[in-house]
Structure 1
Amino acid sequence: MYNKSIIMGRMVADPELRQTESGISNCRFSVAVQEDYKNKDGSRDVDFITCVAWRQTAEFVTRYFKKGQPILIDGKIKSRTYEKEGQKHYETYIKVAEVRFAGGNTNSNNESTPPPEFSDLSDFEEILSQEKELF
Structure 2
Amino acid sequence: MELTGRLTADAQVSEVKGGKKVVNFSIAINDSYKPKDGERVELTTYVECAYWLNAKVGGYLKKGLLVQLNGRIGSRAWVNKDGDAKSYLTCNISHLKFLGGSTNSTAAKPGDSKGKGAPEDDDLPF
TM range (shorter): 0.5 to 0.7
Q: 2:101 aligns with which of 100, 104, 107?
A: 104
Q: Rg larger in 1 or in 2?
A: 2
Decide whether the 8 Å contact of 1:25 with 1:59 is kept in 2.
no
Root-mean-square deviation (Å):
3.3
Mapped to 2, the partners of 1:44 and 1:81 lie a distance apart of 24
Q: Note closer, same or farther for the CA distance 1:92–1:63 as it changes in structure 2 (3 Å cut).
A: same
The unaligned stretches of length 5 or more in structure 1 are 106-114, 120-135
Measure how far apart 1:71 and its partner are. 0.8
The aligned residue for residue 19 of structure 2 is 23
Decide whether the 8 Å contact of 1:14 with 1:65 is kept in 2.
yes
The aligned residue for residue 34 of structure 1 is 30
Decide whether the 8 Å contact of 2:60 with 2:110 is kept in 1.
no
The alignment partner of 2:33 has SS state of coil
Greater strand share, structure number: 2
The superposition leaves residues 69-126 of structure 1 with CA deviations (integer Å, 9 ceiling, x where unpaired) of: 11111111134678x99x9x86641110011011338xxxxxxxxx78468xxxxxxx
Could you tell me the TM-score, scaled by structure 1's length? 0.60
Q: Note closer, same or farther for the CA distance 1:81–1:49 as it changes in structure 2 (3 Å cut).
A: closer
Decide whether the 8 Å contact of 1:31 with 1:50 is kept in 2.
yes
* Total equivalences in the alignment: 104
Matches within 5 A, 1:1-135: 5-38=1-34, 40-56=38-54, 58-60=55-57, 62-79=58-75, 92-104=89-101, 117=111
The unaligned stretches of length 5 or more in structure 2 are 103-108, 114-126
The superposition leaves residues 30-57 of structure 1 with CA deviations (integer Å, 9 ceiling, x where unpaired) of: 110011424744242111111111141x
Identity %: 26
